[in-house]
Amino acid sequence: MSTDTADERAEGSLRAQTVPARQRVEEVLLVLTAVLGTGMIAFITVDWLRTAPGFVGSLAGTTFDQFLVLGEWLDYYLGTNVFQHPFMWRQIATGVLVGIVGPLVGTYLVHRQMALIGETLAHTAFAGVAIGVVVVGLFGLGGSRGQLLIVALIVSAAAALGLQWLTQHTDSYGDVPIAIVLTGSFAVGTLLISWGREFVSVPIEIEDLLFGNMSVVTAQGSQIVAALSVLVTALVVFNYKQFLFITFDEKAARVARFNVAWYNALLVTMTAVVVVGAMQILGVILVAGLLVIPVAAASQVAGGFRETLYLSVLFGQVSILGGIGVAIWQSLPSGGSVIVVAIAIYLGAVALSDRSAALTMR
């Protein structure tokens, strides 16, 4: 009896030492991720400001050059010839930011059983790009990729709000409106592009939009993603408790007189924003994977919702960086590379997990 008691105490002591150590590791990795994200935002900012007149432009230009010098050192040590180019920094910066905000929003979607929302909004974003191509071509507005991204963002946000309204005002099962919007928006996008390409010059390859290609990212596109990433992160931080409440007990939130409709609308709109940004790296078909797979992996090993949120961001970041690395190394599409790495992380989490306890709200 005494031996069993001693063993139990030793096991309990070891567990008490292991959990804080694991938390410390997670906190360090989160800090590093935050530093990396901040650095990428800094790069995009100086890239934007370096054309400004006077001291601001001069300082930004000098800082921009230092990023390129860092890229040259990376190329030297890695034996590559990619990191010294500005376009590669823009692509990596966009990927890093998407890797943060994608799982951040996806954690709420997965736990609310709304995983298909991301896929649906990606298809509406594709329809938005198609609308932008036709409108810009008809009115001779130039049709830069940044303009198309803005149009896609507007259409996707409008579709998100429309999808929420349709779900609330129909008697269909919850996934029926999602299926209708998903297939309908993709059909509209396909028809518009097929109809418009006969008399409108399409400035991007449709295959790049479908499967993802880092070459789609432009300076303006990276600036839009940076601004939206800061906005989405701030909204999640300031509304964390509200989102948590409606995620785990929406009925109780209504009884407590929470404006549930407002927070639902805010969540799906944030999802639309993230999807449009991630579409540049992952493509329409694969974008939902970044919102779902890192969260699924984190849920296998996390002990509570907050830890799931943290691990989702870390797994998302590893998926993005690993996928971009594979894409550069083997000259492969970035979208498929990122998702394959994410799936590998998920399978590893499943193999290592012992999912015997229920997820808590901690």
Measured CA distances, 305 to 68, 176, 300, 301 (Å): 39, 28, 11, 11
Q: What pLDDT is recorded for position 205?
A: 65
Type of residue numbered 180 = I
The DSSP code sequence of 301-337 is H-SBHHHHHHHHHHHHHHHHHHHHHHHHHHT--HHHH
Residue 71 lies in a domain: no
Of all helices (H) and strands (E), which one includes residue 143? none
- For the cut 80, the answer to whether the pLDDT of residue 24 exceeds it is yes
Q: Write out the two tokens for 135.
A: 């409108």
Residues in the chain: 362
| Triad 108, 112, 114: Cα angle to 5° | 90
Question: Above 70 in pLDDT, residue 203?
Answer: no
Model confidence over 315-353: pLDDT tens digits?
A: 999 999 999 888 888 888 888 889 999 999 999 999 887
Q: Which domain holds residue 170?
A: 2-49+85-352
When mean pLDDT is compared over 78-82, 223-227, 333-337, 344-348, the highest value belongs to: 344-348
Give the pLDDT confidence score for residue 231 in this predicted structure. 92
Domain contains 139: yes
pLDDT value at 284 more than 80: no
61 within some domain: no
Average pLDDT rounded to a whole number, residues 65-76: 91
More confidently predicted of 260 and 233: 233
Q: 298 pLDDT exceeds 50? A: yes
- Total domains, the chain: 1
pLDDT tier for residue 273 given thresholds of 50, 70 and 90: confident
Top pLDDT among 206 and 231 is at 231
How high is the pLDDT of residue 93? Answer: 92
Residue 2 pLDDT > 50: no
Percent of the chain at pLDDT exceeding 90: 27
**CA-wise closest residue to 236 among 349, 323, 359, 108:** 108
Q: Is residue 25 part of a domain?
A: yes
If you average pLDDT over each of 14-18, 55-59, 172-176, which comes out highest? 55-59
Average of pLDDT values for 210-219?
74
What's the CA dihedral at 143, 144, 145, 149 to 10 degrees? -70
What are the tens digits of pLDDT across the range 143-155?
Answer: 566 677 777 788 8
Is the model's pLDDT at 191 over the cut of 60?
yes
pTM, whole model, 2 decimals? 0.85
Q: Which CATH number goes with the domain that contains 162?
A: 1.10.3470.10
Start-to-end CA span in the chain (Å): 35
18 falls within a domain: yes
Within-domain flag for 189: yes
Q: 59 lies in a domain? A: no
The most distant pair of C-alpha atoms in the chain lies apart, rounded to whole Å, by 86
pLDDT of residue 157: 82
- If you average pLDDT over residues 9-31, what whole number do you get? 69
pLDDT in tens, 101-145: 999 999 998 888 777 777 787 778 778 777 777 776 666 655 566
Would you state the pLDDT for residue 69?
Answer: 92
The encoded tokens of residue 348 equal 């590893």
Confirm whether 157 is domain-assigned: yes
pLDDT of 20 above 70: yes
Q: Which residues contact 258 (CB under 8 A, 6 or more apart)?
A: 242, 245, 246
| Average confidence score pLDDT of the chain | 81
- Please determine, for residue 243, whether its predicted confidence score (pLDDT) is greater than 70: yes
Higher pLDDT, 344 or 19: 344
At 101 the pLDDT is 92
In terms of pLDDT, which residue wins out, 145 or 99? 99
